[in-house]
Amino acid sequence: MDNKSDFSKGSIYSHILQLAIPMTIAQLVQMLYSVVDRIYIGHLPGTSAMALTGLGLTFPIVSLTAAFTNLFATGGAPLASIARGAGKDDEAERIMGNTFSMLLITSLVLMLAFYSLMRPLLFLFGASEVTYPYARDYLMIYLAGTPFVLMGTGMNSFINAQGFGKTGMATVLLGAVANIILDPVFIFIFDMGIAGAAIASVASQLLSAAFVISFLMGRRTLMRLRLSIMRPSLPTVRKITGLGLAGFIMQASNGAVQIACTSTLRIFGSDIYVGIMTVLNSIRDMVSLPAQGLTDAGRPVIGYNYGAREFGRIRKAIRFLTAIGVTYMLISWLILFLFPEPFIHLFSSDPELLGKGVGAMHIYFFGFFMMALQFCGQTVFVGLGKSHQAIFFSIFRKIVIVVPLTLLLPRLGAGINGVFIAEPISNFIGGAACYLTMLIYTRRLFRKEEAAASA
């Protein structure tokens, strides 16, 4: 085994950082697929606000697509890490092959389902007769790239899980750079508007997916993708989906929150507020990404050390992830509070959106640092293969707290601000509950297993 992939030796902090830096860059680059679309579309002459709002209406569908990617990727990759840590390389490869098959099958089913239900879904999400055409034009093209999205993003997790963080970054970088170049070509030069953004995204995702698959079938990889390991095995698929269900619910619950937000904003406000929420979600995703990238990098390291029964190293990893994550998010919150206008203006040049967006942004990002605790608690549970706990806190924060508050607060007198207040409340309650439970659980688990090992 390559020493750089043996996470039970050497500095635990170095292992996390060596994965975190390229993984964070890769995730940032991955985010550029959608963020660059929003930036360009938000500055379209004359139609920027409504076009941006229309794009925002597609987020629940994009989130559900990402949720199925997580179902298999965040289930399969940690299980493969645990298997490798225990010296079971053949089992790790079977897990990867089954993940590939399920990603491919699911992508085709999703593509057909969304094409069939596009119009009723978009109006359920809060579309109006003005904004629906923009959302439809984007999805008609974007959905054709669904297999590329799932295969590229999902299988890239297995590259990172083996310790090839730089390669994982390169696979995403290839597609994102192509998207950055192609977006203005199709949107402005060919004058295709929002449809041009979708074409650029699909072409770029195809490049990323091709790079990922070629690497996993090549000679450098420690786990090789081949036909003999792709036949789905029901027990293996159950293990993958059982652990990946946490990632699925977390991402799918984001879609549920987006639906609740956009539909409520449409009732109590107007299309412009849906555009504001699109901008705030974009800012949140960008700013929180380094903290999330750090904790994601800790997942294969924690999983490997759990398989190797190195509990002391896991404790160090938890302390490290907490300290860095919370510090970063505190600094980010301060910057967002003091300088909101530049962040909003990055995504829109509409004066009305900018004017109404500043106040909404101050509310929405209050207590932003508590998200770091949610990230850390969640990644530890998943890294240890404890899917039930991870699933519970995914549901708790989004479905139990955010969605009901989003629907109720505006109706209880908070008005349009009630939609934006729901997020910070969920950050404080959900983040604290998830992190404290994780600390209690891991303390008991490690003590029990250490006692059993010494008996």
Q: For residue range 247-275, what is the model confidence (pLDDT) as tens digits?
A: 787 788 888 999 999 999 989 988 999 99
Confidence band of 1 (pLDDT split at 50, 70, 90)? very low
Query: What pLDDT score was predicted for residue 230?
Result: 92
Q: Mean pLDDT over all residues of the chain?
A: 90
Say if CB 26 and CB 168 are below 8 A apart. yes
Give the number of other CB atoms < 10 A from CB of residue 90: 10
Q: Which residues of 102-123 are buried (b: 16+ CB within 10 A; e: fewer)?
A: bbbebbeebbeebeeebeebbb
Query: Which tens digits make up the pLDDT trace of 15-33?
Result: 898 888 877 876 777 677 7
Distance CA 201, CA 35 (A): 11
The structure tokens listed for 120 are: 């009723």
Query: What pLDDT score was predicted for residue 184?
Result: 92
Whether residue 68 has pLDDT greater than 80: yes
Confidence band of 5 (pLDDT split at 50, 70, 90)? low
Query: Which tens digits make up the pLDDT trace of 100-127?
Result: 999 999 999 999 999 999 999 999 998 9
The verdict on pTM exceeding 0.95 is no
Query: Which tens digits make up the pLDDT trace of 194-208?
Result: 999 999 999 999 999
